[in-house]
Homo-oligomer: A and B are copies of this chain.
Amino acid sequence: MAGFRSVPAEPVIVQALRGSRPERLPVWFMRQAGRSLPEYRATRAGTAMLDACLTPELAAEITLQPVRRHGVDAAVFFSDIVVPLKLAGVDVEIVPGRGPVFGRPVRDAADLADLVAHDLPDDAFAPIEEAVARTVAELGPDVPLLGFAGAPFTLAAYVVEGGPSKDHLRARTLMHADPEAWRTLTEHLARVSGAFLRAQVRAGASAVQLFDSWVGSLSEADYRTHVLPASAATLAEVPEVPRIHFGTGTPHLLPALRDAGADAIGVDHRIPLDAASALLGGDVPVQGNIDPALLGAPWPVLEAHLEAVAAAGRAAPAHVLNLGHGVPPETDPGVLTRIVEWAHGR
């Protein structure tokens, strides 16, 4: 056997995202690095969210915590969708209990010109690349790192409102009232998020997920006309790795999300994975979709739900087990560990 070297197998999550069904059901959790973990709360204590994101040793440590604790099949880079805007010098902070708040919401042409003028210098992503490189070195070859960015619509919803909002009315009004300004805004945000993804992939991320959390507030027609081109441009920046596209409230948008050029689609708890896979044409790997509300139910109830999710996931060419949305902060982390054990023990 001298001279014979086996090629190391791709990590199970990457196999699944590329459309083949690996030997075991891969699992990770959106927002697995976060407030549900006591070690996260200890690490973060006294540090503002965006400062933690931009301090490489902190971001790496927080990214690694859930891998150590739960044994998930992937790390997801600890960051926030507004990080690339912050790196471009935009006045944005994350207010605890509220979310991103912008000093100058985009309400008119001057605001828009000001935002777009905040360009990203070549070395803007240095702290991100350092954090990613540290993380990847610690993870080793078996556990991949997933990169992370916000999609242009969800970012625009924050930027136009100036903060979180319920129906993203102001952003959706701008989209129709001034489609030209809207295009300028979303093309800019696509560049910013695309550069953020590129930096993470350059530094070692094995796959990425584009978060369009609020996209479910759009009709399919509005999505295709006013949003899809910018999301497609973002995803097109990292063709060399598998790209997951995720939103909530999307039963009516799944084919459109696929058409933005993703390799896999994240599905929330509103629609079973077999129905989602059928809407997607039957040939797209799916990710999801444990209902976060079930994390607080007794284990036999949750386990029956996991069985149903895994069974429905077999309708797709491949399935990555995940929640339908981020880990709620009040989640008992022991439940997440048990879900990983369940997935790996099948």
Q: Which of A122-130, A183-191, A292-300 contacts B (4 or more CB under 8 A)?
A: A292-300
Does A269 make an interface contact (CB < 8 A)? yes
Chain B residue contacts of A271, Cβ below 8 A: 219-220, 252
Given contacts A249-B249, A292-B167, A293-B167, contact A219 B173 (CB under 8 A): no
How does the 8 Å CB contact mask read for A204-228 relative to B, with 1 for contact and 0 for none? Answer: 0000000000001111110000000
How does the 8 Å CB contact mask read for A125-146 relative to B, with 1 for contact and 0 for none? Answer: 0000000000000000000000
Does A172 make an interface contact (CB < 8 A)? yes
Q: For the complex formed by this chain, how many copies does it contain in all?
A: 2
Instruction: List A residues 140-177 near B (Cβ within 8 Å).
Output: 167-170, 172-173, 175-177
Does A328 make an interface contact (CB < 8 A)? yes
- Cβ-neighbour of A294 out of B176, B305, B325 (below 8 A): B176
Does A291 make an interface contact (CB < 8 A)? yes
- Cα distance, A173 to B184, chains bound together (Å): 42
Shortest distance in angstroms between A162's beta carbon and chain B's nearest beta carbon?
14
Does A95 make an interface contact (CB < 8 A)? no
Chain B residue contacts of A221, Cβ below 8 A: 272
Chain B residue contacts of A272, Cβ below 8 A: 219, 221
B249:A173 contact, CB within 8 angstroms: no
Sample of 20 more A-B contacts, CB < 8 Å, known A167-B292, A249-B249, A251-B251: A169-B293, A169-B328, A170-B296, A172-B293, A173-B293, A173-B296, A176-B291, A176-B294, A176-B297, A176-B305, A177-B298, A177-B301, A217-B270, A218-B270, A219-B269, A219-B270, A219-B271, A219-B291, A252-B252, A252-B271
- Report which A residues bind B (CB closer than 8 A): 167-170, 172-173, 175-177, 216-221, 249, 251-252, 269-272, 291-298, 301, 305, 325, 328
